[in-house]
Amino acid sequence: MPCLSFRRKDDWTQYPLTKSLQIPATESELKNELQVSKKQLSALRLENEQSITSFKVKRDELQEEIFLLTTQSLKLQENDKIQQEKSKQFEVLLKELEDSKAALEVSLAESKKSAQTKVLAEHGEVLKADKQIVFNKQVPHIEDVIDLLQRFSFPETKFEELGKALDLKPLLDPLFLNLTNRRSLTDCVIQWIRNSKTKPLFASLLHALRSIKENAIADKLDQEISVERTPDLVLAAFDNHHDNVLSYSLSDPVAVANILYGEGIITAENLLSAIRKSIKIDYYVLEIFADVLSRFPLNEPFGKALLRDYGAIVKVEAKEDEYSPYQKLPTSVEIMVPRSIITDISSIRIAYGKMMYNVGKVLKNSIYDFEALEDFIGSCNSDLKNDLIKAPSHIMPVIKKGCSLIDTSLVRAVAEEFEVSEVQIYIDEYNHVFENFCQSLSVALSLKEKVADSNCQTVTYTLDRKPDENILKDIRDILSKISYDKFVIIEFFEQ
């Protein structure tokens, strides 16, 4: 029986189109072939079912992802809406703060103006009530001189002689002489007081009066202005140098205060009186005073008691001002000091120790007159006299004691006095490193924005832990140096 050749439709995916299927001639072979084809079809169907199941799983996963993305999108939209509402609330609050600031500035300006007016009025009353003080000044006033001359019956017709004696050439002008005697005397005194070539002092006026034979008037005038004159003249001399002393000469006010206290010029009563006046001007001074007292063991109980009472008062005041539309300017700024900065300060301590080590080696090999060196150190710092021993190995520890991370003036003075120029490079190198460190530290702590541009009086630095006393002293010195002359308080987070 001839064999027929044909393609089965179900096998197109497995066999090439060119391949032919041979159909058996017998019925038995045909059945076998059908069984094989049936098995192949079952395998294909099973494979299709697995593919469909896999597709369904992937479809479910995609639907779940789409649901999550939709949920996140809704949350983001809701967050955006909340942020917009908060932004609007912040703008409203900012505007209220600006309005409050403007109102506070106006109020402060009015209060300051009122206070100045009151002080000027009181000052005027004092001047009117006690003219004797005016007479005691080195530079006399026009009204006082005329009043004294008239009171002691100075002949006003002699104003021309007085003018010549006072070396006032304008009084010789004929036009000026046409004025009345009284007016001429007044103008004579005015020209003398305002004359920039001669120094108008009562002493020169007395000399002029005696030169024109008015000795009686000169004696009376001298007696009048000499009453309690010395204290006022001394005070005037102090006032003349007051600004210069504060600005330039008074480089170590603490040391000066200690010496004045030892001389009995400054007493505990004076100090407490000055503190009381400062508290009346700004009550926050009490907190600073209490904090300082707490640092000394004998005064610590009093300091803590003051702090406790002060805290209770300020707490009540804060409650009363809770709903006030005006906010007080901050008198204190709190700054957290990272631990890394303490590590950086340790590196500065190492740089300082390296500098002192190199300087010590040079000084030991360059200075041989140790007695002169000891005298010089004792003159520069009297507190070091008891530490001086006539031995080369003991000199550098004394110099180190007189210096610190922020003050190398003693070792610099020794190098300059004994002409040891080799150490200057070590000192300059350390000072350069130290100044750069201080600038970097100030930037890291944002001190310009938080301290320099604010009206605060104190800066409270908080450390995460308390270091040993030597490191703490160096930290306090450095922070005090870069805190724009504010009072520095150091606290510890662990407390």
Q: Is the pLDDT of residue 176 over 70?
A: no
Q: What local confidence, expressed as pLDDT, does residue 329 receive?
A: 43
Q: Is the pLDDT of residue 198 over 70?
A: no
Q: How far apart are CA 472 and CA 474, in angstroms?
A: 5
Q: How far apart are CA 68 and CA 59, in angstroms?
A: 14
Mean pLDDT of 238-257: 53
Mean pLDDT of 215-226: 79
Q: Is the pLDDT of residue 420 over 70?
A: yes
Mean pLDDT of 147-153: 83
Q: What local confidence, expressed as pLDDT, does residue 429 receive?
A: 92
Q: What local confidence, expressed as pLDDT, does residue 112 receive?
A: 58
Q: Is the pLDDT of residue 226 over 80?
A: no
Q: How far apart are CA 387 and CA 401, in angstroms?
A: 9
Mean pLDDT of 224-244: 52
Q: Is the pLDDT of residue 169 over 80?
A: no
pLDDT > 90 fraction of the chain, expressed in percent and rounded: 4
The more confident residue out of 159 and 154 is: 154
Mean pLDDT, all residues of the chain? 74
Reported as a pLDDT band with limits 50, 70 and 90, residue 355 is very high
Of the listed ranges 59-73, 314-328, 432-446, the one predicted with least confidence: 314-328
The number of angstroms, rounded, from the C-alpha of 136 to the middle of its chain's C-alpha atoms is: 42
Mean pLDDT of 340-347: 81
Q: What local confidence, expressed as pLDDT, does residue 351 receive?
A: 92
Quick: pLDDT tens for 100-147: 788 777 877 776 566 545 544 554 444 444 443 334 344 567 777 778
